[in-house]
Amino acid sequence: MGGSEESIYNVPWQVSIQVSARHVCGGAIYSKDIIITAAHCVQDKSVTLMQVRVGANYHNSGGRLIPVGAYMIHEQYNKQFKYYDIALIRLATQLTYSLSVKAIGLATVSPTAGASVSVSGWGYLQPNGADGFASSLQVVQLNVIERNECASAKYGYGWDFVGDEMICAAAPNKDACTGDSGGPMVSEKLLAGIIAWGYGCGQLNYPGVYVDVAVLRPWIIKAANSI
């Protein structure tokens, strides 16, 4: 929401997670056979129905469709409270890197409060989804909100919902939305967050919430080697 069109050449790590040949979520390329996404994007899904589109400006055409071999959801993922909403997908065939298909490195420190971050995907452009998913890839710039502040009475979530492994980010009339989940939050050319959840899209009192990649970096590295 509130973003602008972006070329895949500027975000070559961006992928579309597809189930039954339909876009459901975003994801980020970690290596030639590992994609990072959100747990709720893949939970209870059959790998035989899943594909990943890479190197494309559009979620429904272009680039290349890669079959999925397996996925792994974080052991502490909590569907109700959305804690640890992260998963890895192992591709059935390895990627060939190009100008439009590249991995992104993992952040080692969480972005600081007020930092500018970019978020990309093909999610809804309007909160009600009236126009469906964006046809072409969109990017939006947001500002990080300190976790304790995001969990405070200043905003609408409360302490129970903003876990230690989460980052909040917002900007007026700008946000990730349905269909963007699992996609990348980028800070200083590193993967800093994974789009996870939010109450509505772009609502004043409810920032977007992201999985903090720096916090979960050890799990990502370990899981990528064992999936």
For residue range 85-122, list pLDDT tens digits in order: 999 999 999 999 999 999 999 999 999 999 999 999 99
The full set of domain ranges for the chain reads: 14-103+217-224, 104-214
Per-residue confidence band for 160, with pLDDT thresholds at 50, 70 and 90: confident
Tokens 């200043």 — which residue? 154
Per-residue confidence band for 214, with pLDDT thresholds at 50, 70 and 90: very high
Amino acid at 39: A
Q: What are phi and psi of 219, to 5 degrees?
A: -65, -40
The first and second tokens of residue 144, run together, are 């990080």
User: What mean pLDDT do residues 164-178 have?
Assistant: 97
For domain 104-214, the CATH superfamily is Trypsin-like serine proteases (2.40.10.10)
State the pLDDT at residue 46. 96
Per-residue confidence band for 159, with pLDDT thresholds at 50, 70 and 90: confident
For domain 14-103+217-224, the CATH superfamily is Trypsin-like serine proteases (2.40.10.10)
Supply the residues annotated as catalytic: 40, 85, 181
The CA distances from residue 46 to 50, 66, 74, 181, 223, in Å, are 7, 15, 17, 18, 20
- Regarding pTM above 0.75, the answer is yes
pLDDT digits (tens, 9 = 90+) for 119-149: 999 999 999 888 899 999 999 999 999 999 9
Distance in angstroms (rounded) separating the CA atoms of residues 193 and 106: 9
Mean pLDDT of all residues belonging to the chain: 97
User: What mean pLDDT do residues 201-223 have?
Assistant: 97
Identical fold, 14-103+217-224 and 104-214 = yes
Per-residue confidence band for 224, with pLDDT thresholds at 50, 70 and 90: very high
Contacts (Cβ under 8 Å, ≥6 apart) of 103: 13, 29, 30, 31, 32, 97
Is the CB of residue 52 less than 8 Å from the CB of residue 35?
A: yes
Distance in angstroms (rounded) separating the CA atoms of residues 106 and 200: 28
